[in-house]
Chain A
Amino acid sequence: MKLILTGILAGLLAATAAHADEMVFTSWGGTTQEAQTKSWAAPFEASSGIKVLQDGPTDYGKLKAMVEGGSVAWDVVDVEMDFAIKAAKDGLLEPIDFNVVPKADLDPRFTTEHAVGSFYYSFVLAWNKGAVSGEPAGWADMFDLTKFPGKRTFYKWSAPGVIEIALLADGVPADKLYPLDLDRAFKKLDTIKSEIVWWDSGAQSQQLIASGEAAFGQLWNGRVFALEQEGADVGVSWNQNMTAADVLVIPKGSKNKASAMKFLAAATSPKSQAMFAEASGYAPINTAAKAEMPADVVKSLPDAYVDGQINLDMNYWAENRDKIAERWYAWQAK
Chain B
Amino acid sequence: MSGNLLHRQPILRRPDGVGGALPALTLITLFFVVPVVALLLRSVTEPVPGLQNYATLFGDGTYARVFLNTFLVATVVTAVTVIVAFPVAWMLAIMPPALGSIVFGIIILSMWTNLLTRTYAWMVLLQRTGVINRTLMDIGLISQPLPLINNLTGVTIGMVYIMLPFMILPLVGTLRAIDPMTLRAAALCGASPFDAFRRILLPLSLPGIAAGGLMVFVMSLGYFVTPTLLGGTSNMMLAAMIAQMIQSLLNWGLGSAAAFILLLVTMALYALQLRLVGAKRMTGGI
Q: What is A's interface to B at a CB cutoff of 8 Å?
A: 1-2, 5, 8, 59-61, 64, 151, 156-158, 193, 197-198, 211-213, 322, 325-326, 329-330, 332-334
Q: Which residue of A lies closest to B236 (CB)?
A: A333
Beta-carbon contacts under 8 Å, B114-135 to A:
127-129
Q: Which residue of A lies closest to B42 (CB)?
A: A2
For this complex, 16 residue pairs linking A to B, each with C-beta atoms less than 8 Å apart, are A1-B41, A2-B41, A2-B45, A5-B38, A60-B247, A61-B250, A158-B248, A193-B234, A197-B150, A211-B127, A329-B62, A329-B244, A332-B234, A333-B62, A333-B233, A334-B62
B233 adjacent to A198 (CB under 8 Å): yes
Sample of 14 further A-B pairs with CB below 8 A, known A59-B247, A61-B248, A151-B128: A60-B250, A61-B247, A197-B150, A213-B129, A322-B249, A329-B241, A330-B60, A330-B61, A332-B236, A333-B236, A333-B241, A334-B62, A334-B65, A334-B234
Contact with A along B5-42 (1 / 0, CB 8 A): 00000000000000000000000000000110110011
Indicate whether B66 reaches chain A with its CB closer than 8 angstroms: yes
Most chain-A CB neighbours within 10 Å: which of B41, B241, B249, B250? B250
Contact with A along B219-254 (1 / 0, CB 8 A): 000000000000011101000010010111111100
Which of B62, B232, B250 is close to A330, meaning CB atoms less than 8 Å apart? B62
Q: How far is the CB of B13 from chain A (nearest CB, A)?
A: 37
Residues on the A chain within 8 Å of B244, using CB: 329
Bound CA–CA A151/B127 (angstroms): 12
State whether A60 and B248 are in contact (beta carbons under 8 Å apart), knowing that A1-B41, A330-B62 are contacts in the complex: yes
Residues on the B chain within 8 Å of A326, using CB: 249
Beta-carbon contacts under 8 Å, B244-270 to A:
244, 246-252
Q: Which residue of B lies closest to A159 (CB)?
A: B248
Beta-carbon contacts under 8 Å, B265-282 to A:
none
Bound CA–CA A174/B129 (angstroms): 36
Residues on the B chain within 8 Å of A1, using CB: 37-38, 41
Residues on the A chain within 8 Å of B252, using CB: 61, 64
Residues on the B chain within 8 Å of A193, using CB: 234
Residues on the A chain within 8 Å of B38, using CB: 1-2, 5
Q: How far is the CB of B256 from chain A (nearest CB, A)?
A: 10
Q: How far is the CB of A267 from chain B (nearest CB, A)?
A: 25
Most chain-B CB neighbours within 10 Å: which of A156, A213, A325, A333? A333
B233 adjacent to A61 (CB under 8 Å): no
B35 adjacent to A5 (CB under 8 Å): yes
Bound CA–CA A5/B34 (angstroms): 8
Q: Which residue of B lies closest to A3 (CB)?
A: B38
Residues on the A chain within 8 Å of B65, using CB: 333-334
Most chain-A CB neighbours within 10 Å: which of B241, B248, B252? B248
Q: How far is the CB of A198 from chain B (nearest CB, A)?
A: 6
